Structure 1
């Protein structure tokens, strides 16, 4: 969970060593510190939350050897993205987030938030990880269990929330780096505070020459490196109008260009997000929080028709996907009241609208009047939800939570239009459809004695299909997958139970078991007979799958400068029911390894140097739903080292895949491989505390 090219970083502070604690009270490990918000939508001490929460604090983010945000998150074994490739070279549509192995796909089954604002693509549900730079982050909170009771659709398998750093200043920070694969990065952040008003601006530019992604044994004349670049620009301002009223606003711009390894496999994404919020705190009526946001974006992808020996390619399609969304939420948190303990009520309402279209220009290999030349499909989705939560603290040792949310959503104005080469036009309008969902959640936390915390929760959650799944066909390698406008929502019933033990010398150990039953999961099902255009898969509601497993973790501050983190996740996934696809029953979910683990050792003595070494291990997994295309497991080592030069200026080096291990990340018609050794050198500027 820590970070070659040259690196110059203008970021604010290389943390100075904390004050020396007395010998009898060594500092707590990072997992035992701080306040978290995501699990209950209330600020709570981490150790008191009645749900599993994993926190990546600012110091850990800064030390990570990883370059991208998805790489950072994958150092947590319970976090994965669809396929094992980095966003540095991967099309964003293949970067869906999943937690605890919950049916990985290009579409996220978990919600990503940035200060409460959704970051998932509104049309497709995937995440533009490179649009989320690290420099302005204070921490990341991961809640890997059903979150629909508080957050509605998209939080089926949990929530990951990124929190921005407080607006203080004057402050100027940055990173600049360059290294292997012609990869260069420049990040900068400036912040200032004028009394009750604070503001910050941050930017990140990254370019890479990429690497060949097709396995050497299958590589042909058309295969090349995968160059890409992106730029982000974020601005944020907040004002304390009075002791009771706080206002904030944000503007984020992002652009990304990627090449998939051949001339005609490219992708481009552009987006703009604006949000505004207000928080009013009253002494008698509690706290009210209003949030508004809007996003516009455009995604473009080019696909190729490739010869069997990969000696030549032709352009097969150009796909443009414009989309926009608007949303608003109002949350109320009441004042605490007592009756057999302490009660805190939270209630909220939110609405969201998404509109998008997939426009395709198709280039048929041999002109004839019937094949489609232009194809367009899209529609609109409308969401609304209400929730209520009670946090009941019986005693400091015992606490319960109960939450219930009602959601409704409708798919409207859905239409597919195809214009044939010969001029004929076929139009199909889809009937408006709507569904409703109740999502409950119950949780309990017991601390029978100091040093031992027991947690348990049960939940029901859901995810509505995205416009992408309903209307947009796609291609990976040589495999074509069709959309399905008749998809229904996925639903999850599950629970978790675990224990956390805090021992001497900052030792914290955790063990959590979880069980999830996923109903009607949307998968890319292999068709018994390909469609006339060669499509061999289609999105379908599967039936039922079971995902169960264990999480184990150990944090240990061995000495003042030494920290050891160990984490392991076991996921046992199995298809239990598959109407119309009985051959899938008993199969493991695609892209879902059973074993994942991380071992991390950090030495942090700023007067000398700071270093991190991490080992990431991933077990074998299957590319496809039929479990015929196996990908072996692999182990990778990453490392970083930094040395303060003067003031807040630091020189550093970081390496990913230190031993240059080659491993498969995809087998969709052609075998693709993961990122090779990437070493970066750079400078980092941080604020001195």
Structure 2
């Protein structure tokens, strides 16, 4: 496929060379549609008004960590609740957010895979370990609230993952790596044409003895490295039904086991997802989607004082069901109109036992169950109006949300009820929208501006499940209100030279009723709505290709975030887990043939562990490296280095009790593509 055709599609990242690319493209028109087997509908021209950033397949398949959450950090402003990746973090803490709006372990960013929301139905975290970069063609990140389909949850932005199309996939590919601390990573994919369509089966298994997350000075006999062992299998099939219609099927199975900090502190997560999608690319374009998700999570908490079991979150089954229908009627070349309806149901329950860790017998002291159900159904309409060099875009959503069948039950080991609540059903309407304008003065200069609103329901976990990260207990809060965002931004995109792209965005976001872990007593917090989190700042993105093979890409975000909580001790403080500065830069050598090399530098400024700014997480600067040496006949030797200079990254600090992030990790392996 020609690179200029992809530009017209609005998805330059799919096969054109480069790493992180800003897409200031308003040139795509309704008549420029391109049929790419297995891909989505063409991006409408108004999308560029929101300053999206793309990560291309070259970057997805050539990186040091081979983990999607690390690659997403190429876009400054992306963060998880903690700085750990999916080998050494508790899975339930891996929420995704953007623009320093504060971390509370649930995702404030809507993460979609082929249009399907990926957040865990109970916890709201993202199963990053199951989202293998090699299976993707591109990632589009839109910082800022508002979305078309599945708008609930996009208060900090949207991350859209697109599965690899047939042109991205070799008939057979495989790789095997060996790394530091007896780590191994094996993956493979088989893709075959099936009539006019194709089917692709892929899998990955990785494991490692892990590193000590606990600093050496704080280790005890019970301290153990953060071992991990996980696998995932993905099946994707695409079948054309006619020249302008196709059906896409995808299923994902995964399991992830980790041990954190102490021997016996084991977590387990698993999932079985399936989706089917009908794409029609005729005069009337249609995108119809249905999906089902079955997830589960368990976790054992070990006391940091006696090193015995204090909590067994033995079972947290959850189910996600949903779908959407989006229509694009033929309303003339000047307009791209999208109409649709979407719905998502999240149902989940946790069952756990608390133990007396102070007694050698370690008896059960309480048995707790909690859960509920959420349903969100939205109607949306959006239109892009092209007036020569000016594109106007606007959309509106009306969401009906319901929280029902919610309960909390606590009993002694003997079965005596100590607490029982059936919470009242709650429901309401939420109206949200977005509008933007893009003016392209010429092919090398564009101005854009946008305003948007959005909302996020509290997760079932935030509403009903308390948790302990020693020595802090955090209580749930069944009365939490939805978070509501209002934001504006303006920016410019320029091409000062051939193969050089620069972008700048100024933004102001206000998240009302923000959910935060609020300190209410020593070693005691509760999830509460605070008045607001206000984030304002600047984002810079750039890319340059020099001498055909030399690539330079970079991203920087300055976010000045504060909490508005009148009368509380942290009023005016920075939100927990929110750095003020974040930056990433990649320098790569990628000739058409021969060896390729790249190095990535990332910087994250200091941030605070807690709402009262008592515990600091120092800033960190890391460097990753990647090298690919072709041997011949589709075989290449690959070397990878994470945190090459072994910088110390503190990921948790509670009154001096610390966890650390990934130390220097070296990999060597072979990759085969046929």
Range that drifts further, 191-200 or 377-386: 191-200
The answer on whether the counterparts of 1:48 and 1:445 sit within 8 Å (CA) in structure 2 is: no
What does residue range 278-293 of structure 1 map to in structure 2 within 5 Å? 278-283=278-283, 286-293=284-291
Give, in angstroms, the shift of residue 503 of structure 1: 1.7
Distance 2:528 2:127 in 1: 25
| Superposition CA RMSD, Å | 2.3
Give, in angstroms, the shift of residue 28 of structure 1: 8.0
Distance 1:200 1:34 in 2: 32
SS at match of 2:70: helix
Give, in angstroms, the shift of residue 263 of structure 1: 1.8
The answer on whether the counterparts of 1:641 and 1:652 sit within 8 Å (CA) in structure 2 is: yes
What does residue range 177-216 of structure 1 map to in structure 2 within 5 Å? 177-216=177-216
Residue of structure 2 equivalent to 1:273: 273
- Residues 645 and 47 of structure 1, relative CA distance in 2, 3 Å threshold: farther
The answer on whether the counterparts of 1:405 and 1:440 sit within 8 Å (CA) in structure 2 is: yes
Residue of structure 2 equivalent to 1:510: 503
Residue of structure 2 equivalent to 1:380: 373
SS at match of 1:49: helix
Give, in angstroms, the shift of residue 366 of structure 1: 6.5
Distance 1:620 1:211 in 2: 23
- Residues 572 and 325 of structure 1, relative CA distance in 2, 3 Å threshold: same
What does residue range 37-76 of structure 1 map to in structure 2 within 5 Å? 43-44=42-43, 49-76=48-75
Give, in angstroms, the shift of residue 455 of structure 1: 1.0
Which runs of no fewer than 5 residues in structure 2 stay unpaired? 4-15, 31-39
Distance 2:600 2:666 in 1: 15
Residue of structure 2 equivalent to 1:543: 531
The answer on whether the counterparts of 1:502 and 1:508 sit within 8 Å (CA) in structure 2 is: yes
The answer on whether the counterparts of 2:26 and 2:438 sit within 8 Å (CA) in structure 1 is: no
Residue of structure 1 equivalent to 2:353: 361
Residue of structure 2 equivalent to 1:324: 319
The answer on whether the counterparts of 2:18 and 2:58 sit within 8 Å (CA) in structure 1 is: no
What does residue range 288-687 of structure 1 map to in structure 2 within 5 Å? 288-307=286-305, 312-319=306-313, 320-337=315-332, 342-365=334-357, 373-395=366-388, 397-425=389-417, 426-528=419-521, 536-578=524-566, 582-605=568-591, 607-668=593-654, 670-687=657-674
What does residue range 136-155 of structure 1 map to in structure 2 within 5 Å? 136-148=135-147, 150-155=149-154
Distance 1:153 1:273 in 2: 20
- Residues 676 and 117 of structure 1, relative CA distance in 2, 3 Å threshold: same
The answer on whether the counterparts of 2:501 and 2:542 sit within 8 Å (CA) in structure 1 is: yes
The answer on whether the counterparts of 2:46 and 2:393 sit within 8 Å (CA) in structure 1 is: no
Distance 2:542 2:288 in 1: 39
Range that drifts further, 70-79 or 637-646: 70-79
Residue of structure 1 equivalent to 2:37: none
What does residue range 223-262 of structure 1 map to in structure 2 within 5 Å? 223-262=223-262
Give, in angstroms, the shift of residue 385 of structure 1: 0.5
SS at match of 1:93: helix
Range that drifts further, 615-624 or 98-107: 98-107
The answer on whether the counterparts of 1:358 and 1:471 sit within 8 Å (CA) in structure 2 is: no
SS at match of 1:444: strand
Distance 1:112 1:48 in 2: 17
Distance 1:371 1:257 in 2: 24
- Residues 561 and 500 of structure 1, relative CA distance in 2, 3 Å threshold: same
Residue of structure 1 equivalent to 2:133: 134
SS at match of 2:132: coil
RCO higher in 1 or 2 (8 Å CA, sep ≥ 6)?
1
- Residues 90 and 526 of structure 1, relative CA distance in 2, 3 Å threshold: same
- Residues 147 and 174 of structure 1, relative CA distance in 2, 3 Å threshold: farther
